[in-house]
Amino acid sequence: MAATLTRNALVLSLLLGLGHAQAASEPSPTALAARLGIPHPAVIAHRGASFDAPESTAAAYTTARDLGADYLEMDLQRSKDGVLFVLHDNNLQRTTDVAGKFPERKDSPANAFTMAELKTLDAGSWFNSAHPDRARPAFAGLKVLTLDEVIDIAEGNLLHKPGLYIETKEPKQFPGIEHDLKQKLQARGWLIPADAKPTKNELAVGQGNGKVILQTFEKSSLELLHKEMPQVPKVLLLWVGAGSIEPKSTVTFAESGEKDKAAWYAKQEPRDKAEFQRWVDYAKSQGAIGTGPSAALTQGGDQSYSDLVQPWMNQYTHDQGLLVHVYTVDDALDYQKVMAAGVDGIFTNRAGELLKFYKRPAAASVGQVLQNNGF
Ligand code: G3P
Ligand code: CA
């Protein structure tokens, strides 16, 4: 019996040893990022510089670009007449004056509007009302942007060309959007050739191999994106809840008695370790180069979710040869925490602050950049 136990222990330790050898054979996150042409750590401007200007508008994206963000992040949708445009929410109520212009259709999904109709909306004034301390008269009347217009912005500064970090938002509402996106990126010269050589050019991400990163929460969209654009880096976004990582607790927010959603989210965790690992393994098996997990923020707020960047989680993801880009982090204390936990880049509404944190400060202040662009 003792001999059997010893033999079993030996077999187990050999297996474990082999596991380590496999993990060690994966490139380091720094090497992987360099090979893909993705800055490390990466500054991903979430809906543009959306703390400082109305999200997903020309003001937010030109500011993020001119501050020196590596990527302009956007949520992709398709209008009723087939135009790709960028907007986070499913409908237009929060970020436009749709209730005034189309009162009967104010609750309709944004994709029930033609692009011409979307272009009649004011996508800036809500920001001035919601954030009087950051309000600017020139934000009033800003437009919903097409993907073409965001690409124009990304190409518009000769000294710094950021990359595009594009999320297929609610892709099941938009059958074929992955193909439409490929056509557009190809037509605009933003698809890298399949045999492109590794490059590393942190000051001009938009000119290198990592110029586009595709992201989605939806497994089916990841698969379609990979089929359409196998050579383009892809990230599977992760959170705890319906359609993503199964939670340990089934207590809903309404049942929980928590004071706000952030407090409830902070207590949500994956059902177990294996459930988290299953999602990372899936991402890898479908061609993703990384994951985009949520973070629980120190100050809470409506972008604070479950903590999916615990050190063991990042370590596991790195051991599979994948990068970790965490969403959405805005203050120095949280930057410090998630970097210490091992992430490889951050989605932030405050690109200027993150650039300072990474010791890559912008040459001009946010105010100057806004002014330079006419805002
Ligand atoms: O795309 C990363 C992050 O943006 C995911 O959250 O809801 O802001 O799109 P959301
Ligand atoms: Ca997004």
Q: What is the pLDDT of residues 176-201, one digit of tens each?
A: 999 999 999 999 999 988 777 766 55
Distance of CA 300 from the midpoint of ligand 2 (Å): 18
Name which residue sits closest to atom 5 of ligand 1, judged by CA. 327
Tell me, what CATH number does 217's domain have?
Answer: 3.20.20.190
Name which residue sits closest to atom 1 of ligand 1, judged by CA. 167
Helices of type H across 162-297: 177-187, 219-228, 253-256, 261-267, 273-285
Q: Is residue 8 part of a domain?
A: no
Q: Cβ–Cβ contacts within 10 Å for residue 52, how many?
A: 25
Domains held by the chain: number: 1
Q: Identify any residues that bridge with 293 across adjacent strands, giving them in sequence order.
A: 238
- Mutation probe of ligand 1 site: the residue of 87, 94, 167 with most atoms within 8 A of C-beta: 167
- Structural domain of 266: 22-367
Q: Identify any residues that bridge with 72 across adjacent strands, giving them in sequence order.
A: 45, 164
Tokens 């590596």 locate to 70
Q: Is residue 5 part of a domain?
A: no
Confidence of residue 12 (pLDDT cuts 50, 70, 90): very low
Torsion sign (Cα): 145, 147, 148, 150: positive
Q: How much is the pLDDT for 204?
A: 67
The residue length of the chain stands at 375
Q: Is residue 139 part of a domain?
A: yes
Q: Is residue 44 part of a domain?
A: yes
Q: How much is the pLDDT for 19?
A: 37
Distance of CA 46 from the midpoint of ligand 1 (Å): 7
Q: Is residue 10 part of a domain?
A: no
- Mutation probe of ligand 1 site: the residue of 50, 51, 74, 75 with most atoms within 8 A of C-beta: 75
Q: What is the mean pLDDT of the chain?
A: 92
Distance of CA 233 from the midpoint of ligand 2 (Å): 16
> Structure tokens of 354?
């993150």
pLDDT of 212-251, one tens digit each? 999 999 999 999 999 999 999 999 999 999 899 999 999 9
Distance of CA 221 from the midpoint of ligand 2 (Å): 14
With beta carbons less than 8 A apart as the criterion, state whether 298 and 334 touch: yes
Lining residues, ligand 1, CB within 6 Å: 46, 73, 75, 88, 167, 215, 237, 292, 327-328, 347
Q: Is residue 241 part of a domain?
A: yes
Q: Is residue 3 part of a domain?
A: no
Return the closest-CA partner of residue 323 out of 169, 218, 158, 210. Answer: 210
Q: Is residue 71 part of a domain?
A: yes
